[in-house]
Amino acid sequence: MYALADCNNFFVSCERVFRPDLEGRPVVVLSNNDGCAIARSNEAKRLGIKMGQPMFEFRHLIESGAVTVFSSNFSLYGDMSGRVQQILSGFSPAIEVYSIDESFMDLTGMSPDTDFDLWAKTVSRECRRRTGIPVSVGVSPTKTLAKIASKLCKQYPATKGGCWMYRPQDVEKVLRKFPIKDIWGIGRRYAKRFMGYFGMTTAWDLYSKNEAWISSEMGLPGIRTWKELHGEPCIEFEDTAQARKQIMISRTFAKEISDPEELSAQVSMFCSMAVEKLRKQGSCCGSATTFIMTNRFHEGAETQYGSRLAQFTTATDSTFEINSAVLKSLKELFRNGYRYKRAGVILGDIIPADKVQMEFFDTVDRERHSRLMSVMDSINRRNGRNTIGVASQSLDGIKMNREHLSPCYTTDWNDILTVKC
């Protein structure tokens, strides 16, 4: 059996832990720059606010007080996520942290006599009791079915946050009612094609197709999803975190940038952040892509998008080396007279730092760079991000519109909650 623990409306739930007065009321968490909705309470969903919907489209609801909004506070969400994961770890021999709000658990090692329905409800109750976050726990023989089971918990309060789905007749009953578009692995494109062209509406319609049909329509990933619906586990359980194969830092600017100095200070900072992540996972990268673009929503003008790939003959994790390559790319990309809205740095060809193939005629003093990088990392770890960096980068952090930011209750002593009696 596998379990999926999914935090309900996670970002909203994190905010509500410290604002219990918002329980039962419409709440929305906004993306960076307070741009669009990225999390919604059930009440906000019922008001018709869509995932990814721009804030200006529902501003009237905010101004009238019908909806409470928050700027995204990832320090808070990350910390709350860690607390939930820690509780989950106490209930299962193996846990795979799938995303900030979802974890799979492999229950293979548990006694087959376990009442997994009771177990799931207990896990959910304990998460709620110890963190304040409502969590839906679905248990089933495959990850895909566990996902479906956890969605049932959200739909039916009687499940009390936990649901065990395993008997074939129960699976059939559920799949016959479960929307095809909500299956894990069925995205917008497939859903549209299946529902429009083939008239398929439920998970059962997909389940009932034969393997050859699935293969020709969807290829290998589809076969896996289909088999998982049939109860055959096909999606690997990964309880050790895999190193990222690509690391990207990009941002939409609060204000468009046309000054090359200002743009390079920003891009240089993105680069520093990306390389810091790279070192944190103990890797080096063989390439760095820099990209800049103008406002894609701008009426009239074509969006200008440019990217440049820089390659390193010896894979590196030195901020200096990567930063100068990135700034060189940026110089080539930059065009006077354009107003840039978004930029980013992508590190690729990532390999473990201890597997780097050295070059015979290497000109970089890697030993020295490496010592300096670890000092920089430790200073930034201790004193906060962007305490120290390369001279070309901005140290002001990312300038974002965050008008509705909540305090970092759990990660900043200055923001710690005060309780009045």
Partner DNA sequence: TCTGGGGTCCTAGGACCC
Q: How far is the CB of 189 from DNA (least distance, A)?
A: 3
CA distances in angstroms from 60 to 91, 318, 368, listed in the order given: 44, 48, 57
Q: Which candidate, 335, 334, 325, 341, places its Cα nearest to that of 274?
A: 325
Minimum separation from the CB atom of position 207 to DNA (A): 16
List phi, psi (to 5°) of 251.
-145, 150
Beta carbon nearer to DNA, 27 or 55: 55
Q: Is 295 in the site for DNA (CB under 7 A)?
A: yes
411's tokens? 């990660």
Q: How far is CA 356 from CA 63, 173, 244, 284, in A?
A: 56, 53, 16, 7
First to last CA, the chain: 46
CB of 5 vs DNA, minimal distance in Å: 12
Q: Which helix (H) or strand (E) holds 103?
A: strand 102-106
Distance, C-alpha 274 to centroid of its chain:
16
Closest to 284 in 3D by CA, of 240, 242, 245: 245
Q: How far is the CB of 32 from DNA (least distance, A)?
A: 4
Two tokens, residue 30: 């906004």
User: Taking the CB of residue 193, how many other CB atoms lie within 10 A of it?
Assistant: 14
Q: Is 248 in the site for DNA (CB under 7 A)?
A: yes
Stretch that binds DNA, among 41-49, 96-104, 105-113, 162-170 (CB under 7 A): 96-104
Which of 42, 252, 314, 406 touches DNA (CB under 7 A)? 252
Using CB atoms within 10 Å of the CB of residue 241, give its burial: 0 to 12 exposed, 13 to 18 middle, 19+ buried.
Answer: exposed
User: What's the CA dihedral at 268, 273, 274, 279 to 10 degrees?
Assistant: 120
Task: Rule CB under 7 A: say whether 221 interacts with DNA.
Answer: yes
CA pair distance 170, 172, nearest whole angstrom: 5
Residue 187 within binding range of DNA, rule CB under 7 A: yes
Q: Which stretch binds DNA (CB under 7 A): 120-128, 183-191, 360-368, 385-393?
A: 183-191
- Binding residue (CB under 7 A) for DNA from 15, 96, 101, 228: 101
Q: How far apart are CA 116 and CA 145, in angstroms?
A: 14
Pick one of 245, 328, 331, 335: the residue that binds DNA (CB under 7 A). Answer: 245
Q: List the one residue from 123, 247, 263, 326 that touches DNA (CB under 7 A).
A: 247
Q: Mask of contacts with DNA, 306-345, x by CB under 7 A? A: ------------------------------------x-x-
User: Nearest 5°: CA angle at 17, between 12 and 19?
Assistant: 85
Binding DNA (rule: CB under 7 A), the pick from 185, 231, 260, 407 is: 185
Site string for DNA, 225-244 (x = CB under 7 A): -------------------x
Task: Say which residues have a Cβ less than 8 Å from residue 267's Cβ, sequence separation at least 6.
Answer: 290, 292, 326, 327, 330, 343, 344, 345
Asked if 352 and 282 count as a contact pair (C-beta separation under 8 A), the reply is yes
Question: Shortest distance, CB of residue 109 to DNA, whole angstroms?
Answer: 25
Would you say 110 or 348 has its CB closer to DNA? 348
Count CB atoms within 10 A of the CB of residue 413.
Answer: 6
Contact assessment for residue 43 and residue 26, using Cβ atoms and an 8 Å cutoff? yes
Stretch that binds DNA, among 94-102, 132-140, 155-163, 167-175 (CB under 7 A): 94-102
Per-residue contact string for residues 146-165; x = within reach of DNA by CB under 7 A: -x------------------
Does the footprint of DNA cover residue 206 (CB under 7 A)? no
d(CA 91, CA 80): 18
Question: For residues 3 and 127, what is the distance between their CA atoms, to the nearest angstrom?
Answer: 14
Identify which of residues 297 and 361 has a Cβ nearer to DNA in the complex: 297
Query: Per CB under 7 A, does 402 bind DNA?
Result: no
Q: Give the nearer residue to DNA in terms of CB position, either 98 or 320.
A: 98
CB nearer to DNA: pick between 122 and 406 = 406
Q: Is residue 220 within the footprint of DNA (CB under 7 A)?
A: yes
Least Å from the CB of residue 131 to DNA: 17
Give, as ranges, the residues between 7 and 66 that touch DNA (CB under 7 A).
31-33, 35-36, 38, 51-52, 54, 56, 59
- How far CA 225 is from CA of 56, 134, 288, in Å, comes to 38, 27, 34
Compute the least distance from the CB of residue 247 to DNA, in Å.
4
Binding site for DNA (CB under 7 A): 31-33, 35-36, 38, 51-52, 54, 56, 59, 98-102, 147, 183-191, 219-221, 244-252, 277, 295, 297, 342, 344, 346
